[in-house]
Amino acid sequence: MEEAEASASGNNHSYSESPITNIAHDYLLTILLLLPIDAVLSLSMTCKRFRTLTSSETLWKSLCKRDLGSTFVDALSSTNHHHQFPWMRLYKQVSQMDFVCSHKLLDPLGDLDFPAARASHSFNFVSDCLVLFGGGCEGGRHLDDTWVAYIGNDFRRVLKWQAVHSGVPSGRFGHTCVEMGDYLVLFGGINDRGNRQNDTWLGQLMFNGNNCITFSWKRLDVGNVAPPPRGAHAACCIDEKRMVIHGGIGLHGLRLGDTWVLELSDSPYFGTWHEIVTHPSPPPRSGHTLTCIGRSKTILFGGRGLGYEVLDDVWLLDTSQGYLSWVQIVYDLQNIPDGVSLPRVGHTATLVLGGRLLIYGGEDSSRHRKDDFWVLDISAIPCMSVQPTIVSSKKVLTRMWKRWKSSGYEAKPRSFHRACADHSGRYLYVFGGMVDGFLQPAEASELRFDGELFLVELVLQL
């Protein structure tokens, strides 16, 4: 306070004599990492020492870990360990990123096994591998096959798929499968007789000698309590021990609006389901997405409602206070550039580099399938509370919702495909779905399933 008064009265002490500049280097780095990026940049203009400190690659690597994710930083470090990485330039590029480039992944020899065309399957990245299970295919039939392909750190390599014929879980589509640590957890789904499931399965990859991969499914023991049977619901992991599901289509075709959490025990083959009842909560729906951001916020977007309407609402499931509560983020679609195309069902929403949600594809109320990329940046919203968060500022809306440009391979517009990102969050793999090219999409015989695998790269000039 005395220093502030002296400064206000015309004291000419320089910044170099301020007590803060006498703080040890390591402590200053710790303080800077507690500040928002705008404050860090402002401090860089105050004195020579701060200018030097805020130009340090050590600081910017730590800022990248904080804001872009330690997994991404570790992935880049492992592939660039021979030279110093430009972390400051990377941070700025990620902040301004608005462009993706797609690459089709093919077997150039044409003699390798490849998963059949399908939709409403599951598709995950776990332990450096892509894992695909089930889905629906031509004729309204379900599939029960599991496929594994090793990726590693090189997305340009030829993908060699390996089929796993285990007979379990039973064939289905519209199920969910999420990564929880080194495991996959699968729940629910619908078979071609219309039967809804509510069983829970644990999948595990194992690497043997000579890069041989084995994969196994085991039914999870959850006791006597489980969510009602359903398909076309949404799910994601909250952390390595908890998974959340919401909504879907239950018995007799009824759309659901309930929220359930699965907690794994220390032994991975046991778990406990319990329902989360809060007010408010998202209305019933199917074909929507749930995506966890930063281990404390889970984002629900879109889907098809009770009246068969296609939705564009955004809900946040906040876990930061030690309990789960839903908060709606209310915004005006008309104030978003190109926002009229946002409502959708059967899309994917994947956490990518920079803590953003990359939304791809889906279909609108007229079943017109999409091939556009949208980014939802929750960090652009000033504050969250237990009350609905109303976003009205056009400036905030422009940062919250942004349509990204794309180039490279032009994939067909699609819905009910699946997508997953690698550990870095820079590469998004997309497989399957339903595509346009038919006159009566309501007729099962007219459905056209796709079997393409392509990769979407977030473009950075590294």
- Decide if 109 is inside a domain: no
Higher-confidence residue: 92 or 272? 272
- Decide if 83 is inside a domain: yes
Higher-confidence residue: 439 or 422? 422
Can you give the pLDDT at residue 209?
A: 67
- Other Cβ atoms less than 10 A from the Cβ of 195: the count is 14
Give the CATH number, domain containing residue 65. Answer: 1.20.1280
Number of domains in the chain: 2
- Decide if 193 is inside a domain: yes
- Name which of 338, 433, 462, 437 is nearest 123 in CA terms: 433
> pLDDT at residue 126 above 90?
yes
Distance separating alpha carbons of residues 390 and 392, to the nearest angstrom? 6
Residue in the block written with tokens 């953003």: 356
Considering just the CA atoms, what is the radius of gyration of the chain in Å? 24
Cis peptide before 280 (omega within 30 of 0): yes
pLDDT in tens, 138-187: 888 999 999 999 887 665 566 788 898 777 899 999 999 999 988 999 99
Q: Determine which of 229-233, 393-397, 433-437 has the lowest per-residue pLDDT on average.
A: 393-397
Higher-confidence residue: 233 or 377? 233
Can you give the pLDDT at residue 39?
A: 84
Which alpha helices (H) appear in 364-407, and where do they start and end? 394-400
Query: Could you tell me if 86 and 168 lie in one domain?
Result: no
Neighbouring-strand partners of residue 276:
259
Task: Determine contact, residues 402/374, Cβ cutoff 8 Å.
Answer: yes
Q: Determine which of 5-9, 73-77, 448-452 has the lowest per-residue pLDDT on average.
A: 5-9
- Decide if 396 is inside a domain: yes
Higher-confidence residue: 416 or 37? 416
Q: Determine which of 42-51, 253-262, 263-272 has the lowest per-residue pLDDT on average.
A: 42-51
| Mean pLDDT score across all residues of the chain | 85
pLDDT in tens, 307-317: 999 999 999 99
Amino acid at 229: P
Query: Could you tell me if 167 and 92 lie in one domain?
Result: no
Which residues neighbour 167 within 8 Å (Cβ) at sequence distance 6 or greater? 144
Can you give the pLDDT at residue 17?
A: 52
Looking at residues 440-452, what average pLDDT do you find? 68
Amino acid at 344: R
Distance separating alpha carbons of residues 413 and 151, to the nearest angstrom? 25
- Going by the DSSP 8-state scheme, the letter that residue 402 receives in this structure is E
**Which structural domain range is residue 290 located in?**
163-421+437-446
Query: Could you tell me if 229 and 348 lie in one domain?
Result: yes
- Decide if 138 is inside a domain: no
> pLDDT at residue 388 above 80?
no
- Decide if 40 is inside a domain: yes
Which of 62, 80, 96 is the endpoint of a domain? 96
What is the Cβ-side half-sphere exposure of residue 423, based on CA atoms within 13 angstroms?
20
